[in-house]
Copies of this chain bind each other. A is one copy, B any other.
Amino acid sequence: MGKNKSGIEFDKTEQTNEWYTDVINKANLIEYTDVSGCYILKPRAWYIWEQIQAYMDKKIKKKGVKNAAFPLFIPEHLLTKEKEHVEGFAPEVAWVTHGGNSKLAERLAIRPTSETVMYAAYSKWVRSHNDLPLKLNQWCNVVRWEFKHPQPFLRTREFYWQEGHTVFATKEEAVLETKDILIDVYKKMYEEVLAIPVLFGFKSEKEKFAGAVHTMSVEPFLPIGKAIQGGTTHYLGQNFAKAFNIQFTDTDQKKKFVHQNSWGLSTRSIGAMVMMHSDSHGLVLPPKVAEHKVIIVPIIRKDNKEKVLKFAENIKKELATFNPFLDDRENYSVGWKFNEAELYGYPIRIEIGEQEVDAKKVTVVRRDILQKENIPAKNLKEKVSKMLETMHKDMYNKAKKFLDDSIVVEEKDVKKIAKYVKEGKIVKTIFDREKDTDEIIKAQTGGKTIIIPFDEVPKKGAKCPFTGNEAKAVVYIAKSL
């Protein structure tokens, strides 16, 4: 019968980690294993990922990106080809050293990301401008043997993602794509599937991907006052092209190095979704990722069982398009079922008792607001459809209002910036965009640079409040998960 079905026992703001663990466990999303940082994604979690995959896969394919599959194993000599890349990833690589009882001649890294194994192949495939652009994606598992405290979805040693790896003749095309994927795929996925608004823009020099020229990211801002990196696109310039010798003969017959991107979004997004919407009653699922968008709970006595169940079954049929779960299990009390429905996050709960049957009404409860409404059963399909739409919008708008309300502008006073960061605000400020300044910001404010927005520049002559240097960029600073 699974987990204890009492409510969530921790406060979201005060005891965030315990609250999070309690929510995902009682929602039946996760199981722990004997390997720290490796979790089982139970069907309720994997279903969410399947919805994210379906949405993104369609969009990615429309952009002419094709799916492929590259090996899990990267020989050490390949992983180490691009200097900055290996420095970034080697400390957290899981190494295979033996096959059966035989020691391997060369250690194999389990891919932490697939640049190196893919670009070794790209160097064979790209010959002429006719071969460009080359745009591939794969949905796969990757492993990063982190030593920080692991958390399901948010920081795991194995996780699932898509990684796109594209090759262009020119810098312009490549840079354009990093922005297009960021805004048209990642940002829209968060908004349209997970009902989450995001900040988006460049990462700082310090925070960019190991081996990239620039990194862009989308960043949900969580109700606990922390941003979370939700998906990234990297313009790799010609760094990997030179390390892996990926050259093409251009229309002018000259040999040139290609320009490359990589971009990824992972199951971390599920963790962001939980953190964003869930509450003291359990999981709140955006309707788009709920397998059963409706749960129907009949309220039965011995003497009206047949009558109520018949009505409930008719409602189930009418609402078939929402894949309703009719919770007619015996030996469970109605209170227990309500509680479970809240822990599991069914978007809409429909309660049907004898009163409802007689009045041809149903009682509906939206999971996000938990308000009961008694409405006529007539045209219920249409009503539920509208409720689900409204629910998605309301969830998004609530998160958007919180995001907007959290932003404060302070371009001069570092103490004030630190105070705002501590309070869980996002501080919109300016800085010199130097790599070392991130460390100063962290030391002086306790926050991190989250994103550098596109198309905004500091006023002429403005000074970086952290270094006194000329300010080169607008930047958002906040705590980060």
**What is the CB-to-nearest-CB distance from A88 to chain B, in angstroms, rounded to a whole number?**
12
How many residues on chain A are close to B (CB under 8 Å)? 60
In the complex with contacts A40-B121, A100-B90, A69-B2 CB distance below 8 A: no
B67 lies within 8 A of A43 (CB):
yes
The answer to whether A31 has its CB under 8 Å from any CB of chain B is yes
Report if A141 contacts B (CB, 8 A): yes
Closest B residue, CB atoms, query A66: B43
Which residues of A from 1 to 60 have beta carbons under 8 Å from B? 1-2, 31, 33-35, 38-43, 45-47, 49-50
Contact of A31 among B33, B35, B124 (CB under 8 A): B124
A173 within 8 A of B: no
A52-95 CB contact bits vs B (8 Å, 1 = yes)?
00000000000000111111110101100000000000111111
The residue in chain B whose Cβ has the minimal distance to the Cβ of A108 is B35
Whether B131 lies near A73 (C-beta < 8 A) is no
Cα distance A1–B100 when bound, in Å? 40
| CB of A97 closer than 8 Å to a CB of B | yes
A87-138, CB < 8 A from B:
90-101, 108, 110, 117, 120-121, 124-125, 127-128, 130-131, 136
Interface SS of chain A: mixed
Contact B99 A96 (CB under 8 A): no
A95 contacts across to B, CB distance below 8 A: 96-99
In the assembled complex, how far is the CB of residue A25 from the closest CB belonging to chain B, in whole angstroms?
12
| Cross-chain contact B127 with A1 (CB below 8 angstroms) | yes
Residue among B46, B90, B140 making CB contact with A141, cutoff 8 Å: B140
Q: Is A158 an interface residue (CB 8 A)?
A: yes
Taking a contact as CB atoms under 8 Å apart, the answer to whether A100 and B158 are in contact is no
A117 → chain B closest CB, angstroms? 7
A147 within 8 A of B: yes
Task: Decide if B40 touches A68 in the complex (CB within 8 Å).
Answer: yes
Contact check, A71 vs B35: say whether CB atoms are below 8 A apart: yes
Q: Which residues of B contact A1 (CB under 8 A)?
A: 127-128, 130-131
Contact between A72 and B130, CB atoms less than 8 A apart: no
Residues of B within 8 A of A42 (CB): 68
Knowing A71-B38, A98-B94, A145-B100, the reply to whether A120 touches B33 (Cβ < 8 A) is: yes
Chain B residues with CB below 8 A from A100, complex form: 90-93, 145, 147
- Cross-chain contact B93 with A94 (CB below 8 angstroms): no
Contact with B along A147-161 (1 / 0, CB 8 A): 100000000011010
- State how many angstroms separate the Cβ of A136 from the closest Cβ of chain B: 7
Are B31's CB and A43's CB within 8 A?
no
Bound form: Cα–Cα A108–B131 in Å: 41
Interface core residue of A69, A73, A97, A157 (most chain B CB under 10 Å): A69
A294 at interface (Cβ–Cβ under 8 A)?
no
- Determine whether A143 belongs to the interface, using a CB cutoff of 8 Å to chain B: yes
When the two chains form the complex, which single residue of B40, B43, B131 contacts A71, counting CB atoms closer than 8 Å? B40
Asked if A50 meets B68 with Cβ closer than 8 Å, knowing A1-B128, A99-B145, the reply is no
> Is A33 in contact with B117, judged by CB distance below 8 angstroms?
yes
Query: Which residues of chain B are near A90, meaning CB under 8 Å?
Result: 100
Q: Which residues of the partner chain B approach A131 to less than 8 Å between Cβ atoms?
A: 1-2
Name the B residues within 8 Å of A101 (CB-CB): 91
Which of B2, B45, B46, B50 is A125 in contact with, Cβ under 8 Å? B2
Beyond A1-B128, A98-B94, A100-B147, whether A47 also contacts B67 by CB under 8 A is yes
Instruction: Judge whether A158 and B75 touch: CB under 8 Å.
Output: no
| Complex Cα–Cα for A39 and B160 (A) | 20
How far does the alpha carbon of A39 sit from the alpha carbon of B121 in the complex, in Å?
Answer: 11
Q: Pick 21 A–B contacts, CB within 8 A, sort by A.
A: A2-B127, A2-B131, A31-B125, A33-B70, A33-B120, A34-B78, A35-B71, A35-B75, A35-B108, A43-B68, A47-B66, A72-B158, A73-B158, A91-B101, A94-B98, A94-B99, A95-B96, A96-B97, A97-B97, A100-B147, A140-B141
The 10 closest A-B pairs by CB, nearest first: A99-B145, A43-B66, A38-B71, A41-B69, A95-B98, A91-B100, A97-B97, A34-B75, A43-B68, A94-B96
